Structure 1
């Protein structure tokens, strides 16, 4: 498969890499494994594309993105099927991801023509009376976009859409486990009229060529979604350039005794197990007020046991495989470790190959990995609490966080929690697993490195230019 794109055409790599369906184990395709030599060519190509991208009018950028959205929507069935095949995401979840991708592209198209500056009142300070002017936004230049497997289409759109809207060229490195659907989107963008040098794409293992593309002086910005270990390596290699990173989380939910317990339980189960728990904002720790603990626990267990586990291509399946057997085995080992420390399995806890059953735990000690680290798998832990301050302290314990949530009927409690949560987003009477593609999205505390959400990403990928006239 010609899966490397640069210099306006598709290329083979010297060696290939099989892409495997995590549920069936079947090879669904082979892509090129790029090398440093390929990466150098792609960087030069994307750098040469900066001029063509900057020269596009905002209307032209918008039209390209709208045409791409139309093309993805028209081919939604094929996109969804490839997401299922590459990641094991259940079909209904894959279909939703395609719809979100279309929305992300349309939001990007709209922001392309909304990226406007303002006039500046130079006469607001003595000596500026004869001056008038404004500021406008210009593209940064070349953006390197590195994306994960868990939303292999929409997270690519969240980087390419805003970058193109702002007038940047892009070098895309999609997830090594799920690159084919990303390449499908690249082809739609090119067919929609994107300048041929405005985009380059490299498939393969980041360990083979990643250092070169992030350390190069050509990119103005690295936009990365993934884990902390890789982020640390990127930061160490990148040198002086802009970094935007979304680094995962260990999402807390607080359930107060006055909440609608049934609604809270159903929402938390969905939020914990969507996409087999491979979700940076998925529910991981649920802190439940003691007076509601038993009722909430029983409802969560009931909803969890009702989930359908199996073939992700079947419309009724709720939980498919994880991205691979090694990841499922890791999660299983974390669950066993929690049990060895006194934890109790209320539902799930078993694994078959790459499929990890949705698992509910209680009585887990604070030091267990399922409590203090990001599980990134279908495991949720229930923890009773007596005092609200105790729950908030536990909720805010992790160094990396994105969303937090609270279920309560008390508006004062809800607003107080919104202030107290050390998170970039607070969901009230909704699980942490809610994201509107138009809203600002990113991390807090050590994970606070820029914002996605189309309007906000467009500005992250732009720079201001001030123009000042001194009048005679």
Structure 2
């Protein structure tokens, strides 16, 4: 249900009572705008939570966790399956909202909904697989008269903080496993994209989730985030976002479980024997999908010098054929970035790189919140487009002569999730898989491939824990040993 706009709100604003606390939707004393990044239009106003709202949400979540723990694994699975069914039936509305609040092209938004349905179904399946094992206590002297087992139990209340770039599926990657394991959750969606999360919460509650099991706090994280993550009643913090915010959370959270995915600067190696067309097209898609706002998107490409020119020319041609514009148009390949300020950042990084000697092969000129897909070559290692996570539609090309040199260059960053190599050589593929310091190595595929069932997370500084439904369920559970002494 939508509340009526108050007198001081713009006449066309939809005001959402967007705080779900203690089983009820409520408004806040202050609100923030949610705007369409493509045209700047106002979509809605949502409530801004306060530390007092955090206290209420935690009290509710403690009640909700007991309710979740009391459910059978079959009951938890049924809730998640019903949610998946409703989401699949309502896919068009969810995709339209993802596009409206993030600027993600409608084809990508539709794919995200499909993935989210799968994530929920995987979570439902894992709920019924959460079983322990027997323990051979008699394997050591003194245990001959003992037998027992261990089981998995929920950790408690989880604070889940999600980003804007996949506002539905990344929320499902936290909520689905958490509920499968019997936890309750306080969800803080991205400031820029809270509306999809609200819609997801409504589905979960309609599917029979205990009302106190999901509390939702919208607003500016800086206003109440510390109160949330620092509370001793929060058993675990699960965060996906930037490294700077992650560091702030870790300092505030203290001694509790923390799972973080803090971004990356993904590298691809294109060997001399690679299929140039396949590699160039996959890298273009991997670099520019979701306007480059993708933690596993391609950012640096190391191409063997014997095929460098051919690869560059093919990738430039593929990129220049991409349609840039209205994200609601099914023909569009690249939409806006999340905000004008982010496109301005890309423009500033481009100007810096050019001043340092980089050459722009294509793109590079901002238009409002749209920054076109941009390819660089000859970029120096100290340029930000090379050494930092861009999180935007830019990619840099580098020729190489020796595979080990390319691997070393690929590893010369602080944050890594995926890396990739295109090659026809099984030997070189295995060599790269061993040498690349990443949590996933894609062979003859772009770094941006992800199956929602596989383990997912970072391999370098600052990243901890794993997502991927089965693995997240384990992160969100603890073991309990039961031992019978017959003596």
Say yes or no: TM over 0.5. Answer: yes
The answer on 1:328 being equivalent to 2:320 is: no
Rounded to whole Å, the distance in 1 between the matches of 2:63 and 2:137 is 37
The answer on 1:120 being equivalent to 2:135 is: yes
Rounded to whole Å, the distance in 2 between the matches of 1:341 and 1:445 is 27
Rounded to whole Å, the distance in 1 between the matches of 2:463 and 2:438 is 9
Rounded to whole Å, the distance in 1 between the matches of 2:133 and 2:354 is 59
Rounded to whole Å, the distance in 2 between the matches of 1:296 and 1:470 is 68
- Structural RMSD (CA): 0.6
The aligned residue for residue 89 of structure 1 is 104
User: How far did residue 344 of structure 1 move?
Assistant: 0.6
User: How far did residue 448 of structure 1 move?
Assistant: 3.2
Rounded to whole Å, the distance in 2 between the matches of 1:135 and 1:306 is 57
**CA deviation map 1:268-327 (0-9, x unaligned):** 000000000000000000000101101100110010001000000000100000000000
The aligned residue for residue 80 of structure 1 is 95
**CA deviation map 1:163-212 (0-9, x unaligned):** 00000000000001000001100000000000011110000000000010
User: How far did residue 447 of structure 1 move?
Assistant: 3.5
User: How far did residue 42 of structure 1 move?
Assistant: 1.0
The aligned residue for residue 370 of structure 1 is 385
The aligned residue for residue 401 of structure 1 is 416
The aligned residue for residue 388 of structure 1 is 403
The answer on 1:268 being equivalent to 2:283 is: yes
Number of residues of Structure 1 aligned to a counterpart in Structure 2: 472
SS at match of 1:164: helix
CA contact (8 A) 1:401 1:447 kept: no
Rounded to whole Å, the distance in 2 between the matches of 1:54 and 1:176 is 30
TM-score, structure 1 as length reference? 0.99
Given candidates 14, 33, 40, the residue that maps to 2:48 is 33
The aligned residue for residue 213 of structure 1 is 228
The aligned residue for residue 5 of structure 1 is 20
Rounded to whole Å, the distance in 2 between the matches of 1:445 and 1:279 is 17
**CA deviation map 1:396-449 (0-9, x unaligned):** 011110000000000010001101010000000001000000000000121330
Unpaired stretches in structure 1, ≥5 consecutive residues: none
The answer on 1:348 being equivalent to 2:350 is: no
Q: How do 1:306-321 residues align onto structure 2 when only pairs under 5 Å count?
A: 306-321=321-336
SS at match of 2:465: coil
The aligned residue for residue 42 of structure 1 is 57
Rounded to whole Å, the distance in 1 between the matches of 2:51 and 2:154 is 27
The aligned residue for residue 129 of structure 1 is 144
SS at match of 2:407: helix
Unpaired stretches in structure 2, ≥5 consecutive residues: 1-15
Rounded to whole Å, the distance in 2 between the matches of 1:111 and 1:389 is 40
Given candidates 141, 146, 154, the residue that maps to 2:169 is 154
The aligned residue for residue 427 of structure 2 is 412
